[in-house]
Amino acid sequence: MKRIERVQTGVRLEKRLVKVLKALAEYHDLSLGDLLEGIVLHALDGESPFGESSLGVIADLKRVYGLDLDHSDAHSLTEEP
């Protein structure tokens, strides 16, 4: 096991995305921070963080929370005033 030091961050994320991430973390019995660390570490290695079963759960959660965004929206989001 590797020892690390964690820091508090002040990131802002799209509201429905946060709901999906929190529900996914709960589904996998992880904290939101642990889920995000795993996603980022996989992405930095050029790997997909999710298997087929998780992708199905994610699709269901996106429907439940009305999340209609995908990767193609990543660089074109603007915040409502």
Asked, for residue 20, whether it belongs to a domain, the answer is no
Q: Is residue 47 part of a domain?
A: yes
Q: Domains in the chain: how many in total?
A: 1
Residue 59 domain-assigned?
A: yes
Answer yes or no: is 75 within a domain.
no
Residue 60 lies in a domain: yes
Residue 15 domain-assigned (yes or no): no
CA dist., res. 27 & res. 25, Å (int): 5
Q: Give residue 3's pLDDT.
A: 97
Q: Which of 29, 14, 31 is nearest to 69 (CA)?
A: 14
Structural domain span for residue 62 = 27-67
DSSP 21: H
> Percent of the chain having pLDDT more than 70?
100
Q: Does some domain include residue 38? A: yes
How much is the pLDDT for 80?
85
Tens-place pLDDT, residues 32-63: 999 999 999 999 999 999 999 999 999 999 99
pTM attached to this predicted model:
0.91
